Amino acid sequence: MNKVPVFEWFYTQGDLLVTVTTVLENVDVPANLKRQEVVDFILGAVPTPKLSFDEMGIKTPMRFSGKLHNCYFPWESIIQMSSQDAVIQFRNKHAEKEVDMAQQPVKPAVGTSGKKAGRANLRVVK
Q: What is the pLDDT along the chain (126 residues), one digit of tens a residue?
A: 899 999 999 999 999 999 999 999 999 999 999 999 999 999 999 999 999 999 999 999 999 999 999 999 999 999 999 999 999 999 866 555 444 545 555 555 555 455 555 555 666 666
Query: 85 with 77: CB under 8 angstroms?
Result: no
In the chain, domain spans: 4-90
From 12, 3, 9, 13, select the one nearest 58 (Cα to Cα): 3
- The dihedral of CA 107, 109, 115, 118: what is its sign? positive
Q: What is the pTM of this model?
A: 0.71
CATH 3.40.50.720 fits 4-90, yes or no: no
Q: Find, among 85, 114, 116, 107, the residue nearest to 15 by Cα.
A: 85
- Among residues 68, 67, 77, 60, the alpha carbon closest in space to that of 26 is found at 77
